[in-house]
């Protein structure tokens, strides 16, 4: 078993089929891609890398990202894709923790050499040209299903990042679950890598290679709504993975340009969203402006892209009596996993009760790299403790409340920031909102809301307070409002609540 076989079988069956694009320009057919990855594999092994060794990727999105991923797997190596926005010191920490031997980088992301690597190869340079030129191929290095394929470093918003050990089986399972739970893939489809390839977007290369589909990296290497619409119109409707903030930008663009759902259909087949909460008002607007091209997934690095899915038909079924609750949920367990909302002992709770979300199945990580304590805390009796808190309804739909660490306890009552945020977002003039707890002598914690005003609007604390009083229990309403121009977010579009809490503490 090796993920490399996925590419090899496409290259054998249909070598001429277009596989990779850089913008609208063809980059490689399946035959060329496999030839390059197989030759790279031989050169990596000839340079002394042994199966199981780690190869770091610290680069902006690039077609060669995919050639290197598959080249490394072809040689039996483990890839370590790193968030391109990390500080050099953070990346160095990952290099050292992963004991990476080589790194593939782009100069914009890694202008300086990282320490303690044997080689740092610039993807746009002559060395990469030589390593990736077609040449004598390596036979695919056989791998066991539990051997590592990808070390996925968590975003580390609390403490040091941890290396999630993803195995060959984890990624195969994730790939197959895409077909069962997310979408059918036609081989003429185009997977567009606009969000970072080090994360969910890059992981979705696996099902798209399984299907022999086309892959495109936008010329900008990132998220530019106008570019993506144009790319989809030129090459064919795109499939992409986007955090809710990116979905918002696409919808804003469509609205500003006066586009209708038919225009969106010409540019996008499917937009899979996830990675952070999608607020009800935002998904309703997205469906109105861009039509039924959305699917939601909930997952985490520890069970990549695979915990639940909210299917296109669930999003579309407006006649269902619980349609709105379903829109606000993350859907039902994906095919390969079992899901449970549990009490502190791991016992399943009845529908409607709030507890921690546990997941078990073939997509769940083997553990954290060189971190047995963290592994033992996260994996108990085969269940992954996700750290997310939520409720299941009687139909099996999961609604996430928050990360357990973001829960606010004020005056002895639990307050889920997401609930307050949903209410604030429905108030006139609010574009974005994030709610955190601030230590408070009287209440234990006090609710504080950070609010970004919509363009041209100036909501006041008094108006927002009145709005909250009309919609939620008094004790949940913010005791303080901070009006800000933007919310701090990480490269994947997640709001950094730790940064907000630090700001409050000064």
Binding residues for ligand AMP, rule: CB under 6 A, are: 154-155, 274-277, 296, 298-301, 330, 386, 388, 400, 403
Residues 6+ apart with CB under 8 A from 412: 444
Q: Are the CB atoms for 105 and 120 separated by under 8 Å?
A: yes
Q: Backbone phi, then psi, for 359, in 5-degree steps? A: -135, 140
Nearer to ligand AMP, 131 or 203 (CB): 203
Name the minimum Å distance from CB 456 to ligand AMP.
Answer: 29
> Counting every residue, how long is the chain?
506
User: Measured between alpha carbons, how far is 481 from 485 in angstroms, rounded to an integer?
Assistant: 13
Nearer to ligand AMP, 239 or 399 (CB): 399
Name the minimum Å distance from CB 284 to ligand AMP.
Answer: 16
Nearer to ligand AMP, 39 or 283 (CB): 283
Nearer to ligand AMP, 22 or 154 (CB): 154
User: Measured between alpha carbons, how far is 64 from 217 in angstroms, rounded to an integer?
Assistant: 10
Nearer to ligand AMP, 276 or 496 (CB): 276
Place of tokens 């980059």: 27
User: Measured between alpha carbons, how far is 324 from 292 in angstroms, rounded to an integer?
Assistant: 15
Q: Hey, is 298 helix, strand or coil?
A: strand
Name the minimum Å distance from CB 404 to ligand AMP.
Answer: 10
Name the minimum Å distance from CB 229 to ligand AMP.
Answer: 24
User: Measured between alpha carbons, how far is 199 from 85 in angstroms, rounded to an integer?
Assistant: 12
* DSSP code string of 35-81: HHHHHHHHHHHHTT--TT-EEEEE-SS-HHHHHHHHHHHHTT-EEEE
Name the minimum Å distance from CB 466 to ligand AMP.
Answer: 29
Name the minimum Å distance from CB 244 to ligand AMP.
Answer: 8
Name the minimum Å distance from CB 255 to ligand AMP.
Answer: 23
Q: Identify the H or E element spanning 150.
A: strand 148-153
Nearer to ligand AMP, 153 or 481 (CB): 153
Q: Identify the H or E element spanning 327.
A: helix 323-327
Q: Is 280 left (phi over 0), alpha (psi -120 to 50) or beta?
A: alpha
Name the minimum Å distance from CB 227 to ligand AMP.
Answer: 25
Residues 6+ apart with CB under 8 A from 388: 300, 356, 357, 400, 401, 402, 403, 404
Name the minimum Å distance from CB 16 to ligand AMP.
Answer: 36
Nearer to ligand AMP, 185 or 310 (CB): 310
CB closest to ligand AMP, residue no = 300
User: Measured between alpha carbons, how far is 42 from 28 in angstroms, rounded to an integer?
Assistant: 19
Nearer to ligand AMP, 425 or 453 (CB): 425
Residues 6+ apart with CB under 8 A from 27: 19, 20, 21, 63
Nearer to ligand AMP, 182 or 330 (CB): 330
């Amino acid at each position: 078993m090796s993920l490399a076989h996925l590419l090899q079988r496409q290259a054998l069956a249909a070598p001429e089929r277009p596989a990779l694009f850089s913008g609208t320009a063809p980059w490689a057919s399946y035959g060329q891609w496999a030839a390059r990855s197989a030759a790279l594999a031989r050169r990596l092994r000839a340079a002394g890398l042994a199966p199981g060794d780690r190869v770091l990727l610290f680069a902006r999105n690039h077609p060669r990202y995919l050639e290197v991923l598959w080249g490394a797997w072809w040689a039996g190596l483990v890839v370590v894709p790193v968030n391109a926005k990390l500080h050099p010191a953070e990346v160095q920490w990952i290099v050292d923790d992963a004991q990476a031997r080589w790194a593939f980088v782009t100069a914009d992301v890694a202008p300086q050499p990282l320490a303690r690597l044997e080689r740092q190869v610039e993807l746009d340079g002559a060395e990469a040209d030589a390593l990736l030129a077609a040449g004598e191929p390596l036979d695919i290095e056989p791998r066991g299903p539990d051997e590592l394929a990808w070390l996925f470093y968590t975003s580390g918003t609390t403490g040091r990042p941890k290396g999630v050990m993803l195995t060959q089986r984890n990624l195969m399972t994730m790939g197959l679950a895409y077909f069962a739970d997310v979408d059918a893939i036609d081989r003429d489809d185009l997977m567009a890598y606009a969000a970072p390839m080090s994360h969910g977007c890059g992981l979705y290369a696996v099902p798209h290679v399984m299907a022999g589909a086309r892959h495109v990296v936008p010329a900008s290497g990132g998220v530019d709504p106008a570019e993506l619409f144009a790319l989809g119109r030129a090459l064919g409707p795109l499939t992409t993975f986007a955090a809710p903030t990116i979905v918002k930008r696409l919808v804003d663009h469509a609205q500003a340009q006066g586009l209708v759902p038919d225009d969106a259909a010409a540019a996008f087949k499917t937009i899979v969203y996830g990675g952070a909460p999608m607020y009800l008002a935002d998904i309703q607007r997205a469906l109105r402006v861009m039509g039924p091209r959305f699917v939601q997934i909930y997952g985490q690095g520890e069970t990549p892209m695979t915990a639940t899915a909210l299917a296109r038909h669930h999003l579309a079924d407006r006649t269902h009596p619980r349609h709105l609750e379903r829109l606000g949920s993350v859907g039902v367990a994906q095919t390969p996993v079992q899901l449970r909302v549990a009490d502190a002992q791991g016992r399943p709770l009845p529908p409607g009760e709030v507890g921690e979300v546990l997941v078990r199945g073939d997509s769940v990580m083997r553990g954290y790299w060189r971190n047995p304590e963290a592994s033992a805390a996260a994996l108990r009796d085969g269940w992954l403790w996700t750290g997310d808190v939520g409720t299941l309804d009687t139909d099996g739909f999961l609604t996430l409340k928050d990360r357990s660490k973001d829960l606010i306890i004020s005056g002895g009552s639990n307050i889920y920031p997401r609930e307050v945020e949903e209410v604030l977002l429905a108030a006139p003039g609010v574009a974005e909102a994030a709610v955190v707890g601030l230590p408070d002598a009287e209440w234990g914690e006090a609710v504080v809301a950070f609010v970004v005003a919509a363009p041209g609007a100036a909501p006041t604390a008094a108006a927002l307070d009145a709005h909250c009083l009309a919609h939620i229990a008094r004790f949940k309403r913010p005791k303080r409002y901070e009006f800000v121009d933007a919310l701090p977010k990480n490269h994947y579009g997640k709001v950094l609540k730790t940064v907000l809490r630090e700001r409050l503490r000064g």
